[in-house]
């Protein structure tokens, strides 16, 4: 098979390859169920070349798989059709903007057919293309027999009959191919979040598969806009500065140049803000090792990326590097591992936390006694979280003796009946409980399936991708079969405080980390990611001196089942990125935690007291 530039130009032969110098891409969606504000903003803006949509997460894939199993016309993100495309079809056709979306989920052909029906009813001529082949569910028996192991834990695969979905994370070149052949709307299955943006860049600029720095730059742009308004003021550390306008927050627009540099902005007359803080927080979001961020098309190094404020709501982005190309696709499976349920109650009055703890133990004891009487094994896990109780939340609790607390009781079991039994005891024990118990009246919680994530690697050559469009069905070639490597990244040394700073020790003041840095956190499976970006380069050594791996591990010891933690340095921002392993109780819907996706972890860490010379704060 051909590789590199030769293959790329062979693919492009005879096709429309008019190269642009710059393009504008709007990021309209970051998850299935997000509000539909973006399309009206982008169509009013009027000069976008592409609008991209990201709908998929591992949890979403499992939900879509269950939907398809009950109705073979479902299994895709229906919001894309009903909220984004159908109401705006005439404006989309008039503007010439092209849409790229992974809304296809586990049934991209059904998604495309629903859109084609809308187009036909509207009397329009828009062309829809579908990329298929990422769905490996029919091959799970084969993959199991091959001895495939989980890529992080090396665990053996679950039984094939328990697997609900199995999808390869495909890249950007199939998207570019669909656009080159004239598609107005491109639908994929499990395409990587950032690849919908990179595919637009490849189409517009003619970037080749071995132009690694350019592919990394396009992937960075995709990463920055893949979560919609998280880069324009949503979930921002300094949210108070934009609070009055968040109700009409602007969705991100990336102005990308042929050299890979970009400006992140938002439509005129919209809320939120675009500044170094909002963009830096999103850059750090869920990237693990910033010098080895592996995607299907390129291994990215974001450690030297620079952000420059060039105007109001305009941040210039540059400095991404491409370090190689993986030989494999990541394949994520979701599988059923029993049942779970949880419910939240309130306790009020004197010793509220003690009463809540006693009540939770009372419920558990009664339920376990009944399980024993029925000959059913004990619970796989029972979790009790008492918000505001220091014995559970550790240093994150501020009000130890609160007279009003929330208590969450949750359990997991292979037998649905056992889960339902604990739920019955939560309400059934109410009259024999300590005083001060309060419920929110309504429907009682019900057991739901526990869905776990299991990820493996498979060779790219073993995954056959096809493009379905107005020309019929066409097999898509792979760009590379063997890995490439562009330099070895050595661990970066974090700067220490200087001798001059040491002489100013008697002038140290202590301030919360939030005064010195922005922060954002998220998850990857059972791992938590916390990114901390210094507001000034001069602050970074003092932040790093306090936020050692040992300190962060101790701060989150009440969450982590093992003390494994990594700390990475990004001098370009400058920033630190922490990865906490086995920190989320299984993560996603396998977890019984209040925060199974680590969304609050940065907020906990931003309370950290940091000692720093007064002169640095004054300057």
Answer whether residue 239 shows pLDDT above 80.
Answer: yes
Answer whether residue 615 shows pLDDT above 60.
Answer: yes
Q: Which residue has the higher pLDDT, 276 or 151?
A: 276
Place of tokens 């030989």: 327
Which regions of 284-433 does DSSP assign to beta strands (E)?
293-294, 299-301, 306-311, 314-318, 321-325, 328-348, 381-387, 404-413
pLDDT digits (tens, 9 = 90+) for 526-540: 899 999 999 999 999
Q: Which residue has the higher pLDDT, 580 or 11?
A: 580
Strand partners, 99: 51, 185
Q: Which domains does the chain have, with CATH numbers?
A: 24-134+169-326 (no CATH), 338-451 (3.30.70), 499-618 (no CATH)
Q: Which residue has the higher pLDDT, 14 or 220?
A: 220
275 contacts: CB under 8 Å, gap ≥ 6 = 309, 313, 315
Vertex 286, ends 303 and 512: CA angle to 5°? 80
pLDDT digits (tens, 9 = 90+) for 48-87: 999 999 999 877 888 898 899 889 999 999 999 999 999 9
CA gap 547, 552 in Å, rounded: 6
How would residue 493 be classed by pLDDT, with cut points 50, 70 and 90?
confident
Answer whether residue 439 shows pLDDT above 80.
Answer: yes
CA gap 182, 529 in Å, rounded: 39
How would residue 387 be classed by pLDDT, with cut points 50, 70 and 90?
confident
Three-state SS for 283?
helix
Contact between 85 and 115 (Cβ < 8 Å): yes
Residue 568 host element (H or E): strand 565-570
Here the tokens at position 490 are 């050595």
Q: Which residue has the higher pLDDT, 233 or 477?
A: 233
- Residue 369 to residues 200, 363, 414, Cα–Cα distance (Å): 60, 10, 17
Highest average pLDDT, of 78-92, 144-158, 584-598, comes from 78-92
- Residue 382 to residues 238, 392, 480, Cα–Cα distance (Å): 36, 14, 47
Query: Which of these, 164, 172, 171, lies nearest to 137 by C-alpha position?
Result: 164
- The bridge status of strand 50-53 relative to strand 98-101 is parallel
Q: In angstroms, what is the C-alpha Rg of the chain?
A: 25
pTM of the model: 0.92
Contact between 197 and 222 (Cβ < 8 Å): yes
Contact between 386 and 392 (Cβ < 8 Å): yes
Mean of the per-residue pLDDT values of the chain:
90
Place of tokens 């090792």: 289
Contact between 97 and 113 (Cβ < 8 Å): no
């Amino acid at each position: 098979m051909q590789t590199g530039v030769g293959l790329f130009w062979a693919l492009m032969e005879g096709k429309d390859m008019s190269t642009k110098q710059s393009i504008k891409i709007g990021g309209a969606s970051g998850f299935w169920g997000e509000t539909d504000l973006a399309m009206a903003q982008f169509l009013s803006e009027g000069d976008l070349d592409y609008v991209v949509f990201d709908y998929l997460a591992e949890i979403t894939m499992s939900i879509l798989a269950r939907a398809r199993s009950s109705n073979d016309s479902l299994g895709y993100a229906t919001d894309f059709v009903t909220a984004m495309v159908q109401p705006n079809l005439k404006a989309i056709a008039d503007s010439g903007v092209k849409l790229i979306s992974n809304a296809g989920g586990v049934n991209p052909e059904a998604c495309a057919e629903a859109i084609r029906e809308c187009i036909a009813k509207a009397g329009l001529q828009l062309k829809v293309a579908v990329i298929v082949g990422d769905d490996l569910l029919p091959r799970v028996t084969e993959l199991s027999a091959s001895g495939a192991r989980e890529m992080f834990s090396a665990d053996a695969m679950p039984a094939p009959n328990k697997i609900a979905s199995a999808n390869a994370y495909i890249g950007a070149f199939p998207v570019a191919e669909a656009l080159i052949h004239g598609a107005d709307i491109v639908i994929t299955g499990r395409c990587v979040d950032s690849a919908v943006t990179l595919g637009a860049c490849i189409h517009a600029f003619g970037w080749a598969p071995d132009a690694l720095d350019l592919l990394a730059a396009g992937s960075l742009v995709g990463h920055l806009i893949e979560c919609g308004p998280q880069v324009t003021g949503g979930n921002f550390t300094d949210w108070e500065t934009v609070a009055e306008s968040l109700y009409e927050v602007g969705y991100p627009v990336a102005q990308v140049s042929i050299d890979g540099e970009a400006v992140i902005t938002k439509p005129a007359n919209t809320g939120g803000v675009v500044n170094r803080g909002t963009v830096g927080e999103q850059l750090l979001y869920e990237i693990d090792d910033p010098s080895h961020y592996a995607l299907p098309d390129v291994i990215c190094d974001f450690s030297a990326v620079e952000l420059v404020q060039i105007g109001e709501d305009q941040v210039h982005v540059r400095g991404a590097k491409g370090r190689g190309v993986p030989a494999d696709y990541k394949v994520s499976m979701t599988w059923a591992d029993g049942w779970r349920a949880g419910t939240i109650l309130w306790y009020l009055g004197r010793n509220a936390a003690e009463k809540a703890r006693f009540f939770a133990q009372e419920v558990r004891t009664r339920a376990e006694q009944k399980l024993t009487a029925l000959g059913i094994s004990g619970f796989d896990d029972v979790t009790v979280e008492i918000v505001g109780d220091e014995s559970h939340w550790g240093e994150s609790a501020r009000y130890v003796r609160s007279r009003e607390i929330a208590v969450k009781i949750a359990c997991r079991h292979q037998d649905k009946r056992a889960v339902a039994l604990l739920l019955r005891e939560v309400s059934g024990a109410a009259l024999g409980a300590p005083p001060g118990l309060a419920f929110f009246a309504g429907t009682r919680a019900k057991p739901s399936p526990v869905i776990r994530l299991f990820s493996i690697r498979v060779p790219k050559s073993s995954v056959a991708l096809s493009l379905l469009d107005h020309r019929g069905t066409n097999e898509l070639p792979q760009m590379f079969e063997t890995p490439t490597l562009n330099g070895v990244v050595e661990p970066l040394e974090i700067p220490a405080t200087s001798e001059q700073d040491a002489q100013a020790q008697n002038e140290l003041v202590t301030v919360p980390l939030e005064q010195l840095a922005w922060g954002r956190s998220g998850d990857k499976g059972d791992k938590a990611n916390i990114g901390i970006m210094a507001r000034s380069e001069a602050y970074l050594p003092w932040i790093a001196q306090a936020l050692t791996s040992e300190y962060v591990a101790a701060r989150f010891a009440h969450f982590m089942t093992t003390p494994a933690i990594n700390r990475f340095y990004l001098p370009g921002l400058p920033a630190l990125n922490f990865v906490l392993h086995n920190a989320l109780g299984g993560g996603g819907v396998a977890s019984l935690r209040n925060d199974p996706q680590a969304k609050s972890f940065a907020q906990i860490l931003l309370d950290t007291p940091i000692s720093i010379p007064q002169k640095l704060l004054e300057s």
